[in-house]
Amino acid sequence: MAGAAQSGEPKPATAARIYDYHLGGIHNFPADREAADAVAKLFPLVPALARNNRAFLRRAVRHLAESGVRQFLDIGSGIPTAGNVHEVARTIVPDAKVVYVDLDPVAVSESLEILDGDERSAAVRADLRDPDSILTHSQVRRLINFREPVAVLLIAVLHFVPDDEAAVDAVSRLCAPLVPGSFLAISHASADGLAEPRSDDLAVAKDLYQRSTTTPFHLRSRPQVERFFAGQELLDPGVVWLPEWRPAPDDPTDFTDRPALSAGLAGVGRVR
Ligand SMILES: C[S@@+](CC[C@H](N)C(=O)[O-])C[C@H]1O[C@@H](n2cnc3c(N)ncnc32)[C@H](O)[C@@H]1O
């Protein structure tokens, strides 16, 4: 992709490709790298945040598969990288079905490429702010049986929906068709745990990110993240910092001493 970026039209930065760059991926263009470097200069922990977020995703998917979930709807799934949901889930549930959903066409096309020939997975382009377009999508209807438990994953994506009511409404509509025993997993950027001046740095990084990409960015507090789980049974240990959610031996160690510096909150709820 780096070669394509050099020969083609300049592409504006996107959240998916900036995140890919922070994770050491190759699916990014010069504008993405520039924006990612500028954010990381102000807030050097961002690549570690991305690694810890990815580790939470892995732990959550393992836990959900071990709890018997066989269907996953991964919304804001991003560009495929190590430890994609279908790979992690199938280490426990070999016939797990996964639908990846993202707004970014590059994320979708790269996902389709790695899923080529996989009848139990799909990648579709849709917008989380329009939940019905996801729930009624032909590929979602083909693979996901809403009469059985489903895990809806909203990992590091809700902070790209700045309007609080729109975000809560989208989550509630996505969870409306889920039967008891289904799950919702969320991770979300938050500056709650950062003391001054780090929270200032994060606000500057946020503004910079917002100006250089097509996707605005919005931090939320712990109570605001907890609100997404309204009506569900929040699994232990609740909404906590990324490294604190059921840590595992293969986790990164960036924030072992200061989990709040991960700047990401995470939780899993069970639909009653
Ligand atoms: C930081 S990445 C997270 C990727 C993956 N979920 C993970 O945690 O590793 C955020 C992703 O959300 C996608 N995204 C942002 N706004 C979205 C929206 N309104 N609907 C669907 N996807 C969106 C971006 O394109 C990007 O791929």
The domain segmentation of the chain, as residue ranges, is 46-270
pLDDT at 191 over 50: yes
Asked if residue 16 has its Cβ within 6 Å of ligand 1, the reply is yes
Alpha-carbon separation of residue 245 from 41, 104, 132, 134 (angstroms): 28, 28, 30, 28
More confident residue, 235 or 13: 235
Mean pLDDT for 175-188 is: 98
C-alpha to C-alpha distance for 23 and 230, rounded to whole angstroms: 32
105-122 per-position pLDDT tens digit: 989 999 999 899 899 999
Length of the chain: 272
Least confident of 103-117, 164-178, 229-243: 103-117
193-219 per-position pLDDT tens digit: 776 545 666 666 667 666 666 667 889
* Residue type for position 46: V
Mean pLDDT for 139-155 is: 98
How much of the chain, in percent, has pLDDT values that exceed 90?
A: 73
Asked if residue 57 has its Cβ within 6 Å of ligand 1, the reply is yes
- The CATH code belonging to domain 46-270 is 3.40.50.150
CA 235–ligand 1 middle distance (angstroms): 24
Asked if residue 154 has its Cβ within 6 Å of ligand 1, the reply is no
Mean pLDDT for 6-31 is: 83
Q: Taking Cα atoms as reference points, which of 95, 272, 61 lies closest to residue 178?
A: 272
- Structural contact between residues 83 and 77, judged by C-beta atoms closer than 8 angstroms: no
